[in-house]
């Protein structure tokens, strides 16, 4: 099973870029999930180059969504798509839906989620996990500018666990994920989720 690393709200921070490089080296995830607000306007070009190079070097490429602060022309800095507001990927018999959190979110999930599917959002800068009747909500918090008294944080998804960690790699919260939806509940394709 793939080990996934989810981060959000980097906001072009040089410190967050350095922290992410250390996290990637320590955690060695199979895939990086980026939940938006990657850069910021008028940021230091050296820092932008460091961050975009780090992200562009990931293999496989990150799965990313656009945040409310991300600008369309920033796509030119990346070799992976980062402008879609909602994406999904299969993982361990379930689907993970990724969005930033300003359009879809815990109180306004996208249509088609099944019990056991995951909705990953950023935007609030507050780490959170909640099991709802129709889906599991997960927010990694923020690598930059945490809110609500929370630490700067990231999220690891592995096996049946969601684990929140501080920038030093110390676990501070975990959620046992409910079982994946039965295979009979799977749609004919991921596209079916967006056309119901």
Average pLDDT over residues 43-71: 94
Count, in order, helices (H) and strands (E) of the chain.
Answer: 3, 11
Tokens of 17: 């870029």
CA-based nearest residue to 98, from 147, 132, 140, 128: 140
pLDDT in tens, 97-112: 999 999 999 999 998 8
What is the residue extent of each domain of the chain? 4-194
pLDDT in tens, 24-39: 999 999 999 999 999 9
Asked if residue 101 lies in contact with residue 137, where contact means CB atoms within 8 angstroms, the answer is no
What CATH number does the domain located at 4-194 have?
A: 3.60.21.10
Asked if residue 151 lies in contact with residue 167, where contact means CB atoms within 8 angstroms, the answer is yes
Q: Which residue has the higher pLDDT, 189 or 145?
A: 145
> What is the structure's pLDDT at 184?
61
Q: Which residue has the higher pLDDT, 140 or 186?
A: 140
User: Per DSSP, what are the bridge partners of residue 6?
Assistant: 33, 155
Asked if residue 118 lies in contact with residue 140, where contact means CB atoms within 8 angstroms, the answer is no
Using DSSP, state whether 23 is helix, strand or coil: helix
Look up the pTM and report it: 0.92
> What is the structure's pLDDT at 195?
35
> Strand ranges (DSSP E) for the chain?
4-7, 31-34, 63-64, 86-91, 94-99, 118-120, 128-132, 135-139, 153-158, 161-166, 171-176
Q: What are phi and psi of 169, to 5 degrees?
A: 90, 5
Q: Which residue has the higher pLDDT, 55 or 41?
A: 55
pLDDT in tens, 92-145: 999 999 999 999 999 999 988 999 999 999 999 999 999 999 999 999 999 988
Q: Is the pLDDT of residue 190 over 60?
A: no
């Amino acid at each position: 099973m793939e080990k996934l690393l989810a981060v959000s709200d980097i906001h072009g921070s040089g410190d967050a870029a350095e922290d992410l490089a250390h996290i990637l080296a320590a955690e060695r995830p199979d895939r990086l999930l980026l939940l938006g607000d990657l850069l910021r306007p008028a940021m230091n070009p050296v820092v932008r180059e460091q961050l975009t190079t780090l992200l562009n070097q990931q293999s496989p490429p990150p799965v990313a969504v656009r945040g409310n602060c991300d600008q369309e022309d920033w796509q030119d800095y990346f070799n992976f798509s980062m402008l879609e507001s909602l994406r999904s990927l299969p993982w361990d018999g379930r689907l993970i839906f990724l969005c930033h959190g300003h359009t879809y979110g815990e109180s306004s999930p996208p249509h088609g989620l099944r019990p056991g599917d995951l909705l990953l959002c950023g935007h609030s800068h507050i780490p959170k996990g909640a099991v709802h009747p129709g889906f599991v909500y997960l927010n990694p918090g923020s690598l930059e500018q945490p809110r609500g008294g929370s630490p700067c944080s990231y999220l690891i998804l592995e096996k049946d666990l969601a684990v929140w960690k501080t920038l030093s790699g110390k676990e501070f919260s975990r959620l046992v994920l409910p079982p994946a939806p039965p295979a009979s509940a799977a749609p004919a394709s991921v596209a079916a989720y967006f056309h119901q």
